[in-house]
Amino acid sequence: NAGVTQTPKFRVLKTGQSMTLLCAQDMNHEYMYWYRQDPGMGLRLIHYSVGEGTTAKGEVPDGYNVSRLKKQNFLLGLESAAPSQTSVYFCASRTQILSNSLHFGNGTRLTVT
Amino acid sequence: DAKTTQPNSMESNEEEPVHLPCNHSTISGTDYIHWYRQLPSQGPEYVIHGLTSNVNNRMASLAIAEDRKSSTLILHRATLRDAAVYYCIPLLNFGNEKLTFGTGTRLTIIP
């Protein structure tokens, strides 16, 4: 039982390049979330999903796209990376049951030059 | 969205108890209160949660006000390893799955 796994752990992109961050969970969780955390700041919600095939916008969705084709995977895409997207990205998942906790991945550190 | 208010920062001496407050006056009767913490350079981790009653686990205690408009996370004997940012988050009922974090409370432990 690996929990929530994020790949890659680190990445450096040039402005304008694209990439996809993968979040995989093996706990059969319905809900999945993508957050970004800038240095010294709190977590900001980018997009989230309440089930396979569904996604919704969070607080800071611009410049990102997401897909949840399979229940266990939640992909975050950057079509044209910008320096402002330099951040640490965290994925999280949870069940529908409110008494169950949120599980986080270890993060992806992305630098856009 | 249910809103929470926490102090930006707190300090405590090592081996003393710490009381971290959170106001969540807009939650409804079936919303749970969860607490998470984020250690330096790590992802957030679960600490404790509750609905109405006070709760204890190996990490901390959670005291929930009778009117549920506030709660307090209690670390009984703070250690240097407890230095982290602590987030109080309401988990809302169905139809409110959007989960946002506030700024949390940065806890500094003084040796």
Rounded average pLDDT over A59-68: 96
Q: Could you tell me which chain A residue has the CA closest to the CA of B44? A: A104
Q: Determine contact, residues B49/B57, Cβ cutoff 8 Å.
A: no
Q: What is the pLDDT of residues B7-66, one digit of tens each?
A: 999 999 999 999 999 998 888 778 889 999 999 888 999 999 999 889 999 989 999 999
Interface of B with A (CB under 8 A): 30-32, 34, 36, 42-46, 49, 51, 85, 87, 89, 91-94, 97-104
Q: What is the pLDDT of residues A14-51, one digit of tens each?
A: 999 999 999 999 999 999 999 999 988 889 999 999 99
- Provide the CA B59 distance to its chain's centre, in angstroms: 12
Is the CA virtual torsion A26, A28, A34, A37 positive or negative?
negative
Supply φ then ψ for residue A38, to 5 degrees: -85, 160
Rounded Cα–Cα distance for residues A24 and A17 (Å): 23
Q: What pLDDT is attached to residue B26?
A: 81
**Considering only CB atoms, which chain B residues are within 8 Å of A59?**
100
Q: What pLDDT is attached to residue B39?
A: 93
Q: What is the pLDDT of residues B55-97, one digit of tens each?
A: 999 989 999 999 999 999 999 999 999 999 999 998 776 667 8
Q: What pLDDT is attached to residue B64?
A: 94
Q: What is the pLDDT of residues A72-100, one digit of tens each?
A: 999 999 999 999 999 999 999 998 887 78
Q: What pLDDT is attached to residue A79?
A: 92
Rounded average pLDDT over A57-84: 96
Of B45, B93, B98, the CB nearest to A58: B98
Q: Do B94 and A96 touch (CB under 8 A)?
A: yes
In this prediction, residue A1 has a pLDDT band, given cuts at 50, 70 and 90, of low
Tokens of A32: 């999945």
Q: Do B97 and A48 touch (CB under 8 A)?
A: yes
Q: Do A102 and B36 touch (CB under 8 A)?
A: yes
Min CA distance, B78 vs chain A (Å)? 23
Helix (H, G, I), strand (E, B) or coil at B29: coil
Q: Do A98 and B91 touch (CB under 8 A)?
A: yes
Rounded average pLDDT over A2-17: 95
Instruction: Tell the residue number behind the tokens 């949870």, with chain if given.
Output: A94
